[in-house]
A = this chain, B = another copy of it.
Amino acid sequence: MTADIHKKQRVMWPKPGESSPGGGALFPFAGSVASVEALQRILSDLTRGVLHPGAKLKVRELIERYGISATPLREALAQLAARGLVLVEDRKGFRVPPVSLEQLQDLSQSRVIVEGEALRLAIAHGDAAWEGEVLSNLHQLRREIERRDSASQEWLDAYERQHHRFHKALLAACPLHSLKDFCDNLYIQMTRYRRLLKELGFSAAAGNGAHEPIVEATLARRGDEAVPLLREHITIPVRAIREYLEKNGTGVPLR
């Protein structure tokens, strides 16, 4: 038995280059160790639907769940709030933002506009390395789809991660960083809705057929062909949800 058991318990600090071993960070969040750790886990629970839309985020509960204290937790929540990923009311605390068809439409339409332009710029500026990354990510996405196992939470997570990577790779050559960051934020916000669709019985890889033509037109530098295809792809969730609502009456899962 070592003596340091009685030391004040704290989060461990990673060694300088120890953060994310498997390639560049997927999420663009920065901050202190405990803070980003909490942020990632909250975000993961948000998108996976563990934290339900509209639910209250009680600091005490989160502190226990993530094993950290109030300061880094609030830091994480503040950062998520700034990106519209959690709601904050003064002196009423934080909550999971409700989901609605209106918001989904808002996110989709904005993404159609912005990500369309971003792709156009990427096509105009991309080099061979970018082309390679796009192809590589399309390949890995296909492989992920092949080993599909809809029942498995792990597979869903892995698929979603690779899908995210693929879309990032498409835009990587766009020289406007602020525009890319905004696209990424919209993508992350839409993740909750994609997951929701899967719960409603839609295939996890419904719009997967669209990826190949998008890549083909993109690498052939045919922007006028690629951009509309990407836009179609982006609006799949809205159309699917609308379809569902028409069949099953007004908003069971959407409030």
Contact check, B176 vs A106: say whether CB atoms are below 8 A apart. yes
Number of interface residues of A (CB under 8 A): 41
A117 sits at the interface (CB 8 A) = yes
Copies in the complex: 2
Contact check, B110 vs A178: say whether CB atoms are below 8 A apart. yes
User: Inside 8 A of A90's CB, which chain B residues have their CB?
Assistant: 19, 30-33, 36
Q: Is the interface of A mostly helix, strand, loop or mixed?
A: helix
How far, in angstroms, from A75 to B181 measured CA to CA in the complex?
21
A56-81 with Cβ < 8 A to chain B: 70-71, 74-76, 78-81
User: Inside 8 A of A30's CB, which chain B residues have their CB?
Assistant: 81, 88-90
Kindly supply a per-residue 1/0 record for chain A positions 211-235, scoring 1 wherever the CB is within 8 Å of any chain B CB and 0 otherwise.
0000000000000000000000000
From B71, B82, B117, B175, contact of A113 by CB (8 A): B117
Quick one: closest B residue to A29, CB to CB? B82
Quick one: closest B residue to A32, CB to CB? B90
